[in-house]
Structure 1
Amino acid sequence: MLSLADVQAARAHVEEVARRTPLERSRTFSELTGADVHLKLETFQRTGAFKIRGAANRIATLSPTEREAGVVTASAGNHAQGVALAATRADVDSTIVMPEYAPVSKVKATRGYGGEVVLHGIDYEEAQARAHEIEAAEDRTYVHAFDDETVMAGQGTIGLEIVEDCPELDTVVVPIGGGGLIAGIATAIAGKLDDVRVIGVQAAGAASAAQSLASGRVESIDRVDTIADGIATRSVGETPFEVIQERVDEVVTVSDTEIAHALTLLLERSKVLVEGAGAVPLAAILAEAFEYEDGETIVAALCGGNIDMNRLTTVVMRGLIEMGRYLKVKMALKDRPGELERVAGIVSEHGANVYAVHHDRTSRDVAVNAAELEVEMETHDAEHAAAIVASLEADGYEVDVLA
């Protein structure tokens, strides 16, 4: 099984390519939760995610023959960028197979780091199958995203940094996709500190690790469905799973709504941009997905910040809805002068800011002498939004809350 010595040996290789990322205490999230919350900002890593660490360690251990033949891998995005950059810096040719629906920003970045990108399949598993075909046809070395002890050891260097920067640590919260990251971090921390909890977090729509722990063997789910594309794998790796069973205390899940909420709060309150996978540790803390005590020192490993801008717009809007900061309503109005002004007056009295108004006389859903009105507005919080809806209903309108 992966050892502390393996992680320590990886450090020299990792430091040649990757940055040591900051760990900062968050006053905002400490106040919100009652815990002493610290953020490991791996979002500031080269390539924008932790994957460069494992890739750098694996590329550094290639034999001369393997270096000459080149490498191939499959990835939804972050591992792709890590392998591309590490390989380019080592003068090794790299081919990266990515799902056809991988975020455009990650595809462009991978190409920019020098990797040859092949788009194939609907998810990581189908991309991986194509990568293995290329491996066999071109005699390349396959660099697995997580099911490889050398890669796991590289990711574990994050754990060494956490221990050094926060020796008073009580709990560390880590995302789980394939399991390489948490296996490496758990190994490093277990070798350095006693009585530290390691909590793994998965998106509810990709919860293979939680199912695997329940059954005692690696389980594969039929499909994944989550905004956290960086951890959207159908199963954890066999090698990481052994470490997870031994060294991870608990695995919990969070919903996409909770992920969007955490992502939005990080952006607004901490000015830190994360992708969905990077937000899941904080989402678990905010949602109290696991038990913790007041004052407990918790480190959330924010593993990446490579979110597609189109996805960011959608996720932030979901986050604002969850926080009660955005309200969209639909109602029927009598088709007569002054009705729109009457609604606007109610909204104005509550101090809400209107984003958009859609007034439709032709909708089949309303009477001939009526019009359908949709109003989008900025609200302060859930109570403010509820008060606006209540006032509209008190004035005789049937209000349908759309968001």
Structure 2
Amino acid sequence: MTQNKILNLETTNHEEHIRNASQNLKRVLKKTNLIYSEFFSKEYGNNVYIKPENLQVTGSFKIRGAFNKINNLTKEERKRGIIASSAGNHAQGVALSAQKLGIPSVIVMPNITPLIKIEGTKSYGSEVVIHGDVYDESYKESMRLSKEKGYTYVHAFDDYDVICGQGTVGLEIIEELENIDEILVPVGGGGLISGIALIAKSLKPSIRVTGVEPSGALTMKTSLNKGRIMELDHCRTTAEGVSVKKPGELTYNIANKYVDGIIEVTEEDMTEALLMLVEKHKLIAETSGILPLAALRKLNIKNKNVACVVSGGNVDVLTISSLINKGLVSRSRIFCFSVDLPDTPGQLMKISQILSSVNANVIKLEHNQFKATDRYMNVQLEVTAETNGEKHIQQIIELMKKDNFKINRIY
């Protein structure tokens, strides 16, 4: 995209285009009204609202941009068919949109794409091609196929019609909560935050629009800090939906002009946020979708109205189980320790009584004489227990010390 085109788009009436997109989408969207979170509000000192796009058609916000773009194609473009590259959510949005509009589609997906997203995409009738380890490699392959076969390319984020479709998320937030102060948005290539920023700054410039990226994929933050588009050498994050090494030209320029900042979160922040969302709201989200909730603790504001866009919920059962377990460890809800016990009767009972006295629930217990410091005199006991937090763990440790047990905390 040339700089002139970018500048022309920046002087366009974005509100009009986003409202038109909203009209286009009425026939395919599911309503995702804001959910007020008492838990997150109390935990972080702001009035926190969740925009649950994980409950959207295809399980993410991506249907918005994809359908708006494909709906606006010419007859000739529709006839040739379309192609897209995606780690999953854009793929499903494109596939369903193409199916509803009767257009053949091909989707190129990277190897890291969860099986649930691959199968979901196929279920909408698209041809799926697996290529590359990250989105950027899939993108290059899809561009090659586009030129070779004559397909119309539907970009995941660096396209104005796609951006306007994503911007309807922001329009709905503002229409539902007029006194919104801040909107937190996951950032991969930048399409979602660009659309939300365009409508927010058009309707109420005082609204802060802040992006959130994982430490292992600081794509937009790196570019904004350097003052030019930068490409990361690699992405290392469980949030595969935002695992993009390079932002788009259009999205970078919009973010540079309208986005108020980017918050960095760790993998630990994400797993904790996921655990709390599941436990307190009974909602499932993928790690890329959970980024805004993970960023709440890092906001330097209090008593403000904050909307968190939970952008998607397409995650397989094995992954969600693993992430929840990590979240339990991170929140000190699981305590694992080892202790060398004298090889005499009654020692295991003492440990059991200490744990029972403070209502720590034993999940797993293992004796192993060969792991002990002195395997001829001692037996090593490894215990995993369910706890209520760090204070509870410290209480257990102190009681063990009083009974002269020297424990080694594993996690």
1:367 is aligned to 2:378 = no
Deviation of 1:368 after TM superposition, in Å, equals 2.7
Question: What residue number does 1:389 align with?
Answer: 397
1:22 is aligned to 2:33 = yes
State the AA in 1 paired with 2:283: V
Equivalent residue in structure 2 for 1:110, among 109, 121, 131: 121
Question: What residue number does 2:299 align with?
Answer: 290
- How far apart, CA to CA, are the structure 1 residues paired with 2:186 and 2:257? 17
Question: What residue number does 1:76 align with?
Answer: 87
Deviation of 1:364 after TM superposition, in Å, equals 7.2
State the AA in 1 paired with 2:55: F
Contact 1:356/1:377 (<8 A) preserved: yes
- How far apart, CA to CA, are the structure 2 residues paired with 1:299 and 1:381? 28
State the AA in 2 paired with 1:136: K
- How far apart, CA to CA, are the structure 2 residues paired with 1:148 and 1:251? 21
Contact 2:372/2:380 (<8 A) preserved: no
Q: Provide structure 2 residue ranges, at least 5 long, that are not aligned to the other structure.
A: 1-8
Contact 1:22/1:42 (<8 A) preserved: no
Question: What residue number does 1:119 align with?
Answer: 130
Question: What residue number does 2:363 align with?
Answer: 355
- How far apart, CA to CA, are the structure 2 residues paired with 1:380 and 1:84? 44
1:317 is aligned to 2:347 = no
Q: Any idea what SS the aligned residue of 1:371 has?
A: strand
Question: What residue number does 1:57 align with?
Answer: 68
Question: 1:137-171: per-residue Cα shift (whole Å, max 9, x none)?
Answer: 21111111101111101000111101110001111
Q: Which moved more, 1:337-346 or 1:38-47?
A: 337-346
Equivalent residue in structure 1 for 2:314, among 301, 306, 310: 306
Deviation of 1:366 after TM superposition, in Å, equals 4.6
Deviation of 1:83 after TM superposition, in Å, equals 0.7
Q: Which moved more, 1:4-13 or 1:163-172?
A: 4-13
Q: Which moved more, 1:36-45 or 1:51-60?
A: 36-45
User: TM-score, structure 1 length as denominator?
Assistant: 0.96
- How far apart, CA to CA, are the structure 2 residues paired with 1:195 and 1:91? 42
Question: What residue number does 1:41 align with?
Answer: 52
Contact 1:20/1:161 (<8 A) preserved: no
Contact 1:366/1:372 (<8 A) preserved: no
1:139 is aligned to 2:150 = yes
1:342 is aligned to 2:353 = no
- How far apart, CA to CA, are the structure 1 residues paired with 2:379 and 2:37? 49
Deviation of 1:50 after TM superposition, in Å, equals 0.2
Question: What residue number does 2:283 align with?
Answer: 272
1:174 is aligned to 2:185 = yes
Contact 1:359/1:372 (<8 A) preserved: yes
- How far apart, CA to CA, are the structure 2 residues paired with 1:238 and 1:393? 59
1:11 is aligned to 2:19 = no
Question: What residue number does 1:330 align with?
Answer: 338
Deviation of 1:336 after TM superposition, in Å, equals 2.5
- How far apart, CA to CA, are the structure 1 residues paired with 2:57 and 2:242? 19
Q: Any idea what SS the aligned residue of 1:162 has?
A: helix
- Taking only the aligned residue pairs, the percentage that are identical comes to 35
Contact 1:254/1:284 (<8 A) preserved: yes
1:196 is aligned to 2:204 = no
Question: 1:149-208: per-residue Cα shift (whole Å, max 9, x none)?
Answer: 111010001111011100011111111110000000111111111311111111111111
- How far apart, CA to CA, are the structure 2 residues paired with 1:393 and 1:87? 65
Deviation of 1:133 after TM superposition, in Å, equals 2.0
Contact 2:82/2:104 (<8 A) preserved: yes
- How far apart, CA to CA, are the structure 1 residues paired with 2:144 and 2:378? 62
State the AA in 2 paired with 1:65: E
Q: Which moved more, 1:27-36 or 1:178-187?
A: 27-36
Q: Which moved more, 1:205-214 or 1:361-370?
A: 361-370
- How far apart, CA to CA, are the structure 2 residues paired with 1:103 and 1:53? 21
Deviation of 1:365 after TM superposition, in Å, equals 5.5
Q: Which moved more, 1:8-17 or 1:104-113?
A: 8-17
Q: Any idea what SS the aligned residue of 1:362 has?
A: helix
- How far apart, CA to CA, are the structure 2 residues paired with 1:54 and 1:230? 15
Contact 2:340/2:372 (<8 A) preserved: no
Deviation of 1:318 after TM superposition, in Å, equals 1.4
Contact 1:14/1:54 (<8 A) preserved: no
- How far apart, CA to CA, are the structure 1 residues paired with 2:374 and 2:191? 55
- How far apart, CA to CA, are the structure 2 residues paired with 1:364 and 1:25? 51
Equivalent residue in structure 2 for 1:183, among 174, 194, 201: 194
User: TM-score, structure 2 length as denominator?
Assistant: 0.94
